Structure 1
Amino acid sequence: MQGQLFDNLPEQLSPMPAGAAHPIGPGAMHLPGFIGTHAAAILATIQAISRQAPFRHMMTPGSHAMSVSMTNCGLLGWITDAQGYRYSRTDPATHMPWPPLPADLETLARAAAAAAGYPDFRPEACLINCYAPGSRMGLHQDRDEADLSAPIVSFSLGRSATFLWGGARRNDPVARIILQQGDAIVWGGPSRLYFHGIAPLARRCAPQEPELRYNLTFRRVTHLALRDEGGTR
């Protein structure tokens, strides 16, 4: 899984054409169709990852099962259970390290970050969410990372979904952004701790539309200086 996933993927991907990216907030961009023709290869990669680290409905600290099923790849994986929200180097279901983050996925994530104005992004974790009909993700902040200076990079695959984009406070107005297969969202800087979520997927999907939606979010978790110096976070 660490080999070449995509055919003819250049080492340095060019930014999207002018006008294709849409700012949605300070330091936040919607990049429609950024993944382009690589969507099918990424979906196949997700299936390969899930054979090593199966999707599961994790439990919140309040003992509620999340409606989306999840897995991870990369040096670290995001988990939740009775002990709280955190990152772990091992999969609690298998007690093995998470599958490695494929180099081509990292290249795409770094290219998306660069297109949104974050050229130095180096992801350590990739959380993969699987949304079935009726699944949702309530408004929340991504704040379990030690390094909040790096952006979040999010890829959408499969069924379209409505992205809920709020503000720095939970009761701020919420914009609704339709995400299609191949779209990317990047947020950081002033928007890094903005509330966001996914509206419930409709029980019925349109003709020819996939039943499931997959979302990959790439994160830098530790301060790079700590990691590069052999830190254990």
Structure 2
Amino acid sequence: MQVQQPLDLRGMKLFRGLIGPEEQRHLVEGLRDVVRAAPLFHPVTSSGKQMSVRMTSAGRFGWVSDRQGYRYSETHPAGIPWPAIPEIALEVWRMVSGTERMPECCLINFYDAGAKMGMHQDRDEADFDQPVVSISLGDEALFRVGNLTRGGRTESVWLSSGDVLVMGAEARLLYHGVDRIKAGSSMLLPRGGRINLTLRVVT
């Protein structure tokens, strides 16, 4: 992996194709080990609505959502500890995060062809000075970024397999979401779909 000059997306840094095809395949193999240890699950919002994405986590903490609200937990909903974060993901963090701290959570979201993610902020962490690093694998996703408050003009960009996005500094709390997935746009995952990893410092 070699870092190129990133594109600017409202202060977010977009590194196009940072992770090469072979490294993507190795990372997917590592994620299969994570999912075997901590299976994907459908989170539920506090109102009881099931999200369209399936998720799991790796690291010291995992992000969970249920009728009790959004939070980090040291255990999977099944009561088991989260597995370790794959080394390739940690290498990406070291290359682009700009911080000496290491991620305590790697949230893994799986999007099938019909899944999406509404506009939201990542604000369940304790220190907003620490960035969120997002890795895209598999089918392309239409990523939309807004403002520090809901509403207003937004911008959208297609994220491709191997792209890395860094949300830091003033862009750390921008609203963002995924509007749709372009099914069949990548051959990385045999059954299609998109995997999104977000690495975060929690405490």
Category of TM-score, reference length = shorter chain = over 0.9
Q: Using the TM superposition, give the Cα deviation of residue 206 of structure 1 relative to its aligned residue in structure 2, in angstroms.
A: 4.9
TM-score under structure 2 length normalisation: 0.92
Matched, 1:90 2:75: yes
CA distance in 1, matches of 2:45, 2:118: 13
Matched, 1:138 2:118: yes
- Provide the residue aligned with 2:87 in structure 1: 103
- Provide the residue aligned with 2:170 in structure 1: 190
Distance 1:122 1:165, change over 3 A: same
Percent sequence identity over matched residues?
38
CA distance in 2, matches of 1:149, 1:50: 30
Matched, 1:42 2:27: yes
**Equivalence map 1:8-87=2 (5 Å):** 16-17=3-4, 20-26=5-11, 28-36=12-20, 37-87=22-72
- Provide the residue aligned with 1:219 in structure 2: 200
The C-alpha deviation readout for 1:30-57, integer Å capped at 9, x for no partner, is 0001112310011111111100111111
- Provide the residue aligned with 1:4 in structure 2: none
The answer on whether the counterparts of 1:34 and 1:112 sit within 8 Å (CA) in structure 2 is no
Taking only aligned residues, the RMSD between alpha carbons, in angstroms, comes to 1.7
Give aligned pairs, total. 200
> What residue identity is the alignment partner of 2:28?
L
What is the SS of the residue equivalent to 1:199?
A: strand
The C-alpha deviation readout for 1:136-173, integer Å capped at 9, x for no partner, is 00000000001111000000000011111111111021
Consecutive unaligned residues of structure 1, counting only runs of 5 or more, are: 1-12, 223-233
> What residue identity is the alignment partner of 2:129?
S
Q: Using the TM superposition, give the Cα deviation of residue 213 of structure 1 relative to its aligned residue in structure 2, in angstroms.
A: 0.3
TM-score under structure 1 length normalisation: 0.81
CA distance in 2, matches of 1:192, 1:209: 29
The answer on whether the counterparts of 1:74 and 1:100 sit within 8 Å (CA) in structure 2 is yes
The answer on whether the counterparts of 2:62 and 2:74 sit within 8 Å (CA) in structure 1 is yes
More strand per residue: 2
The answer on whether the counterparts of 1:67 and 1:135 sit within 8 Å (CA) in structure 2 is yes
Distance 1:207 1:91, change over 3 A: closer
| CA radius of gyration, larger in | 1
CA distance in 2, matches of 1:102, 1:133: 25
Distance 1:208 1:83, change over 3 A: closer
